Amino acid sequence: MSTSKTPPTVNNRKEASKYTKLILKVLTEDPNGTYTIQQLYTTLGIKEKSDKVILKKDLLDLLQQGEIKKISKGRYLLLREAAYLIGRVDYVRAEYAYIIVPDQPKDVLVFQKNMLSALDKDLVKVRLFPAGRHNRPEGVVVEIIERNTASIIGRVTLTGNRPIVVINQKRLSYLVAIEGAHLAELKENDKVVIELTAFPDKGNQLSGKIVQYLGQAGIHEVEMHAVMAEFGLNDLFPECVLKSMKDLPMVVAAQEISKRKDLRGITTLTIDPVDAKDFDDALSYQRLANGHHRVGIHIADVSHYVLPDTPLDTEAYTRNTSVYLVDRCIPMLPELISNELCSLRPNEDKLTFSAIFDLDDQGNLHDQWFGETVIHSNKRFSYEDAQVIIDEQTGSSYQELTQLNNLAKQLRTKRFKKGAINFETRELVFELDESGKPLKVMPKIRKDTHKLIEEFMLLANREVATYVAKMKKKSEQLGPTFVYRTHDKPDPCKLNDFFTFVQQLGYKVSIGKGSIAKAMHDLEQAIQGQKEENIIQSLAIRSMAKALYTTKPDPHFALAFAHYSHFTSPIRRYADLLVHRLFKKYLRGELVYDVESYEKKCQYAVEREGIAASAERASVKYKQVEFIQGLKGEVFEGVISGITEWNIYIEIISNACEGMVRLSDLTDDEYIFEEANFRVVGKCHKKIYRLGDIVQVKVKNCDLDKRLIGFLLL
């Protein structure tokens, strides 16, 4: 800050401009700062009451002239020569938030003191500082354009005779005064859904009304419904949608079969999770006379039952994807469709949309066919059952399963040779008791049978996309409209940071004349079985671009495919349903050119996909916190998975539960965050904690509402 120990004496209004200049000098020399009147008094050395009165008048003049702006808590900032952006608030920590601005390469960092009382997901106008101090744009919120009015989950606490609701938004807590009837019936620790009706910037405290009563906090069903309410999910379908299905045929008609390729005589099977009910894909296998293998990939023909612009279709589009919480699926389609009519259940005739490929022993593609079919699944396997049959080489369909597994391995090898990357986020499986309490948390084990299904789905998705992309004529800039799944190359800066980190852990990363994909593949092989494997995989994924739906036939970097789409899961993804509808038209010779409307549908699909992922993470995180809170006192081995200016994040190796240690809780030294080196360093004793270090921790505290675990370093 600029200081002036001897303030000018002001005897008349004419000389008051000296304070104007001094105020502007202070704010200009610290353009990233905001000042209260008291801070200006101190900075300028003003003590006399008369001088303070004059400074206040000069501040008012500067406000009226538009030179400065008054923001929250009586703070002032300079407005001259500033750039402004408009975006949504995304709170990351209690200390700061990011403002997500469309078409901007980096989000804008705003610290809590400069948030102008904005809440999570509010639309705000942010003034950019001349230069960010944290390797990214930084600014201050100067206007709240639109409040986020989505429903919020809260917990009731009784204060005297009147209930107050505590809400949490991204680790920030707020008290909300509740309006409306039936307030006397609320009990301590009830969970409710509220809508905010008054906000702090209007001179009021937060106020709201209850729109849904959930029940007592801590009960499994209440908490899962709280997650659903938080993300706007509903497992019930509107009555009009259910009524619209009453005339759907429950049996495949002979007339419909006559229009399709009949594959019911070919050995066909499904492989799914043991608790699955919606079987949307099946595989058939035939050995051909020339020694080749004919593999049929049969996908539930959802588009036959879900017709465009019907109530059923409108609801499916709105949901856009099924959501899988810890203990349940919130389906995109009603059970009559997802679990009965379209589910490829064994010993039933089913309508399918098929991709059939002729492959040699090395997995090379020699011929293909696409079209509408009818199948009859002979056997339903779980992944585990199918794996036992392959391993022991005996049991139902063991020859078909073995051949499919061998072909899948060939396809997988070919993908990696072409530059595919195999970093994956670790999935968790919870063992729950009858009341929903977690007894165990285990990483999901991927078997060969998982990879078998994955490879053939990738093959179908790739070839469908390639078929349509190649329909483009020389005179056309783009071919007929289609829904592609694309993945851009990684940002060089993020990739460089990631490679710097893994090199500090002792892993050699050499791009040189080779490709990024080869370097990633070699690293993936090197970390298998290591304690830091999961953290490296997670950071590798973060360094990558996000996969998107788009009408542009761009490549998929991670899969090393020139073209890729989603064709194989129309029961649970609306994008696949769109692909089926368009692809059927193209096989009939009809062409669709409607990029604008389909691009909007693609953008909406990406948005809904993000909401589903957030809901799934929230349910997992809640159950992790619930599991860990019963293990206070135990010592865990963990790996440092993240470091910020305020916290060290640690993931327990045995169960993948992540918690944090506040730097302020480390009393042996003052620790300094070195972002470029992925570490914190003790100021006096030079002790270092870095990303990837193995440490021992105990549980300090658990907060179920915020889904946070606090650790103590040992």
Tell me the mean pLDDT in the region 339-361. Answer: 96
Q: Are residues 306 and 388 in the same domain?
A: yes
Tell me the mean pLDDT in the region 507-534. Answer: 80
CB 354 within 8 A of CB 261: yes
Q: Are residues 212 and 312 in the same domain?
A: no
| Cβ partners under 8 Å of residue 452, min gap 6 | 271, 386, 401, 404, 405, 408
* Strand pairing report for 268-272 and 68-71: unpaired
For 556, the 3-state DSSP assignment is strand
CATH at residue 190? 2.40.50.640
Q: Are residues 90 and 74 in the same domain?
A: no
For 61, the 3-state DSSP assignment is helix
> For the CA atoms of 67, 69, 75, 77, what is the dihedral angle to 10 degrees?
-50
Domain membership of residue 437 (yes or no) is no
Q: Are residues 118 and 203 in the same domain?
A: no
Q: Are residues 142 and 158 in the same domain?
A: no
What does the block give as tokens for 407?
A: 């072909």
What single-letter DSSP state applies at residue 326? S
Q: Are residues 265 and 395 in the same domain?
A: yes
Domain boundary among 146, 178, 195: 146
Residue in 625, 668, 665 with CA at minimum distance from that of residue 648: 665
CB 353 within 8 A of CB 373: yes
Phi, psi of 152 (to 5 degrees): -130, 145
CB 287 within 8 A of CB 403: yes
Query: pLDDT tens for residues 248-261?
Result: 998 999 999 999 99
Give, in order, the Cα–Cα distances in Å from 58 to each of 23, 28, 52, 705.
9, 16, 10, 46
CA–CA distance, 215 with 27 (Å, rounded to integer): 51
Taking 90 as the threshold, does the pLDDT of residue 57 lie above it? no
Taking 70 as the threshold, does the pLDDT of residue 413 lie above it? yes
Name the β-bridge partners of 358: 294, 367
Q: Are residues 287 and 168 in the same domain?
A: no
CB 507 within 8 A of CB 591: no
Question: pLDDT confidence of 473, banded at 50, 70, 90?
Answer: confident
- Provide the angle, in degrees to the nearest 10, between the axes of the packed helices 574-587 and 448-469: 50
Count up the domains in the chain and report the number. Answer: 6
Domain membership of residue 443 (yes or no) is no
Q: Are residues 285 and 376 in the same domain?
A: yes
Q: pTM of the prediction?
A: 0.84
CA–CA distance, 122 with 201 (Å, rounded to integer): 13
Q: What is the DSSP string of 112-134?
A: GGGSTTPPTT-EEEEEEPSS-SS
Query: pLDDT tens for residues 211-235?
Result: 999 999 999 999 999 999 999 999 9
Name the β-bridge partners of 550: 484
Q: Are residues 159 and 128 in the same domain?
A: no
Look at residue 127 in the predicted model and tell me its pLDDT: 85
CB 497 within 8 A of CB 675: no
Which of 61-75, 82-96, 383-397, 555-569 bottoms out in mean pLDDT, i.e. has the lowest?
Answer: 61-75
Domain boundary among 422, 438, 464: 422
Question: pLDDT confidence of 7, banded at 50, 70, 90?
Answer: very low
| Cβ partners under 8 Å of residue 482, min gap 6 | 465, 468, 469, 551, 553, 565, 579, 582, 583, 598
CB 483 within 8 A of CB 489: no
Domain membership of residue 417 (yes or no) is yes
CA–CA distance, 228 with 612 (Å, rounded to integer): 10
CA–CA distance, 168 with 173 (Å, rounded to integer): 5
Taking 80 as the threshold, does the pLDDT of residue 415 lie above it? yes
Look up the domain containing 117 and give its range: 83-146
Domain membership of residue 227 (yes or no) is no
Domain membership of residue 434 (yes or no) is no
Q: Are residues 518 and 653 in the same domain?
A: no
Q: Are residues 213 and 347 in the same domain?
A: no
CATH at residue 653? 2.40.50.140
Domain membership of residue 4 (yes or no) is no
Taking 50 as the threshold, does the pLDDT of residue 5 lie above it? no
Question: pLDDT confidence of 404, banded at 50, 70, 90?
Answer: very high
For 19, the 3-state DSSP assignment is helix
Look at residue 131 in the predicted model and tell me its pLDDT: 61
Domain membership of residue 98 (yes or no) is yes
Q: Are residues 486 and 576 in the same domain?
A: yes
Q: Taking the CA atoms of the chain, what radius of gyration do you get in angstroms?
A: 30
Taking 80 as the threshold, does the pLDDT of residue 81 lie above it? no
Give, in order, the Cα–Cα distances in Å from 417 to each of 525, 537, 562.
14, 20, 15
Domain membership of residue 458 (yes or no) is no
What does the block give as tokens for 440?
A: 């165990």
CATH at residue 99? 2.40.50.690
Tell me the mean pLDDT in the region 10-36. Answer: 70
Look at residue 185 in the predicted model and tell me its pLDDT: 87
CATH at residue 58? 1.10.10.10
Domain boundary among 378, 394, 422: 422
φ/ψ region of 283 (left if φ > 0, alpha if ψ in -120 to 50, else beta) reads beta
For residues 296 and 692, which has the higher predicted lDDT (pLDDT)?
A: 296
